[in-house]
Structure 1
Amino acid sequence: MGAPASLPARAAGLARPAAARLPLPGAGARRRARAVVTAARALLDEGHVVGSVGNVSARVGRELRITPTRAAYERMRPRDLVRVDLATGAVRGAGVPSRELPLHLALYRARPDVGAVVHTHSVAATAWSFLGEALAPELEDLGYYDVGAVATAPAAPAGSAELARGAVAALGGGGAVLLGGHGVLTVGRTPEDAVVVARVVERQARVAWLLRGADPRLVG
């Protein structure tokens, strides 16, 4: 079976001094921002995250757009995303990025092919992450979507450089990695692609738990 095609402020009355204005985003940047918000809402609607946990980002030229911390996905708009310089990690404009910003930055810097990053706390895959094992056996889905083997990175504090280093190492050139005792991290060319990988990983984890005798009612 062959691999599929890509799946699918300005303050009132006061203008900033010209030197302080940020460049206006182009059509491509706006499209990527909308895709990040759509992906975040899909994760919430499908139960991969609860409330405002998890995070989504996309590469936009030399920047990334990332979901802000503690922001409700159902009310989020593209303008709420935080702009971050990929090289320096400096926030451009307003907003406070997700605390997992170091994780996203590390992945984009290590993987020039990655255009989007998704982090979830989906139930079956997150539960598996506490085992410290790779997901097994590997379903055909992992090969079909070019995800590859799904390893588990060592447990590390959320938002830490240690977590970022471990995730990059465990991910390698693959499409997904489990964060030990924490959750799931997936990458793709677009936010939509990364969400598809997150769905595939959660399904893989459900099958893995069933093969270990888990109650089907608990793993969907």
Structure 2
Amino acid sequence: MNQIMNARQKVVEKGVQILETSLTVGTWGNISCRIPSEDCFAITPSGMNYETLKPEDVVIVDFNGKILNGTRKPSIELPLHLAIYHARQDIQAIIHTHSAYATAMATARKGIPGAVEDLVQIVGGDVRVNEYALPGTPQLGINTVKALEGRNAVLLANHGMLGVGKDLDEALRVCQVVEKSAKIILFARLMGGAIELSQEDITGMRNFYLNDYGQK
């Protein structure tokens, strides 16, 4: 039960952070994280303000989508989170935002090229755009899983972006780096275009991030 409460608290904290850092506005976006010991995950409720969200508002759901704990209605994007967790056992947390520059790229249906070093390190390469599907539909989950293959981020066509990671802290860093990179690419294109890194360099930097970066 302590792990459930901890997960709920962390989801609430990340909700405040994405609002304070302008990765979303209002009640849009959604957040979830696995609770491995309980074989379930915590997900934000639908349409509630992050500033007033309390841990008990966060919904606990199993991997069939059944509510195990909580009185709130889960995010409309529950099918999206379920699809990602089923497809990617390495993913422990998901943050979906509506940040301005990444959403501009998603609206233009232009991926973010692998041209920024910290982007390729944390994401694994370029950021693809999924094929459009309506919010809240199972098809959105199918399309997103496909575009997310081998990556830690994806642009949701005409919608926003989604970052994943080994925990909520990493998922948030992914969202922040993708938003910064989208801004950089837009400015670079005003100066003639961004120069993509080679696949060899991308692979090398990704491996460095996974195996040697930070305090091990």
Q: What's the TM-score once normalised by structure 2's chain length?
A: 0.83
Q: What is the one-letter code of the residue matched to 2:148?
A: L
Alignment coverage as a number of residue pairs? 188
Offset at residue 212 of structure 1 (A): 2.4
1:104 to 81, 90, 104: 81
Offset at residue 133 of structure 1 (A): 2.4
Aligned to 1:45: 20
Q: Give matches, 1:67-146, under 5 Å.
A: 67-86=44-63, 88-93=64-69, 94-146=71-123
Kept in 2: contact 1:52–1:72 (CA 8 A): yes
Kept in 2: contact 1:68–1:81 (CA 8 A): yes
Instruction: Specify every segment of 5 or more residues in structure 2 that has no aligned partner in the other structure, as ranges.
Output: 192-216
Q: For the residues of structure 2 that align with 1:115 and 1:137, how far apart are their CA atoms?
A: 24
Deviations 1:128-186 (A, max 9, x none): 01222220252001233244321000111001111110000000021000001110011
Kept in 2: contact 1:35–1:192 (CA 8 A): no
Kept in 2: contact 1:137–1:208 (CA 8 A): no
Kept in 1: contact 2:114–2:120 (CA 8 A): no
Offset at residue 188 of structure 1 (A): 0.7
Q: For the residues of structure 2 that align with 1:150 and 1:179, how far apart are their CA atoms?
A: 10
Q: For the residues of structure 2 that align with 1:118 and 1:151, how far apart are their CA atoms?
A: 16
Max radius of gyration: which structure?
Answer: 1
Aligned to 1:36: 11
Instruction: Specify every segment of 5 or more residues in structure 1 that has no aligned partner in the other structure, as ranges.
Output: 1-24, 215-220
Q: For the residues of structure 1 that align with 2:170 and 2:56, how far apart are their CA atoms?
A: 22
Identity %, equivalent residues? 37
Q: For the residues of structure 1 that align with 2:7 and 2:45, how far apart are their CA atoms?
A: 15
Q: CA RMSD in A?
A: 1.4
Q: What's the TM-score once normalised by structure 1's chain length?
A: 0.82
Q: What is the one-letter code of the residue matched to 1:157?
A: L
2:146 to 160, 165, 169: 169
